[in-house]
């Protein structure tokens, strides 16, 4: 099986496995929690995105990993992780918490979409071996990150709809 196909199959199965976890464990648990607690849990997970800097560490990734991909992915993850940590640090100051929560989710999903674009454009699946030890990031970690961003947006939009219904009596 070609390397590109292995990489793509593993990434798709990463999404399948995480979606099954979300349906079986994550969503049932999230439904029992206040929205702020769910967003704090998501921010905690994304707080570890400093790990994306691994894409620019020589010796961890191969020398032929496209720099256009590596640098953008590394710093996009780093910024998202910092914003997620700021959300956690300000969780008792609600306006700041919500601002940082929105910021890290917008930045994070934008980063992942840009990374997907660069990966396809630069032929990353064919050169997946150049990811070196960072290979696990796109096949295991990225699917969970994307899924939790989508969950966060779903919860934010649901909260906004509820707030509008309360603010505008029928």
CA-based end-to-end distance of the chain:
60
Dist. CA 118–CA 131, nearest whole Å? 14
- What are the residue boundaries of the structural domains of the chain, listed by start? 35-162
pLDDT digits (tens, 9 = 90+) for 133-163: 999 999 999 999 999 999 999 999 988 787 7
Residue 169 has pLDDT above 90, yes or no: no
Average pLDDT over residues 7-31: 96
Average pLDDT over the chain, rounded to whole?
94
Task: Check residue 58 and give left, alpha or beta (phi > 0: left; psi -120 to 50: alpha).
Answer: beta
| pLDDT value at residue 160 | 79
Q: 50-98, pLDDT tens digit by residue?
A: 999 999 999 999 999 998 999 999 999 999 999 999 999 999 999 999 9
């Amino acid at each position: 099986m070609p390397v590109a196909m292995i990489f793509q199959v593993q990434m798709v199965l990463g999404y399948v496995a995480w979606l099954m976890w979300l349906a079986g464990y994550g969503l049932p648990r999230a439904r029992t929690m206040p929205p702020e607690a769910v967003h704090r849990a998501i921010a905690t997970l994304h707080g570890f995105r400093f790990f994306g800097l691994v894409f620019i560490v020589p010796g961890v990734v191969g020398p032929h990993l496209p720099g256009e991909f590596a640098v953008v992915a590394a710093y996009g993850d780093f910024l998202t992780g910092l914003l997620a940590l700021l959300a956690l640090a300000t969780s008792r100051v609600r306006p700041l918490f919500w601002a940082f929560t929105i910021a890290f989710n917008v930045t994070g999903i934008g980063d992942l979409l840009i990374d997907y674009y660069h990966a396809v454009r630069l032929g990353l699946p064919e050169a997946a071996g150049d990811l070196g030890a960072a290979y696990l990031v796109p096949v295991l970690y990225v699917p969970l990150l994307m899924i939790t961003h989508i969950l966060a947006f779903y919860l934010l939009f649901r909260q906004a709809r509820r707030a509008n219904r309360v603010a505008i009596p029928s």
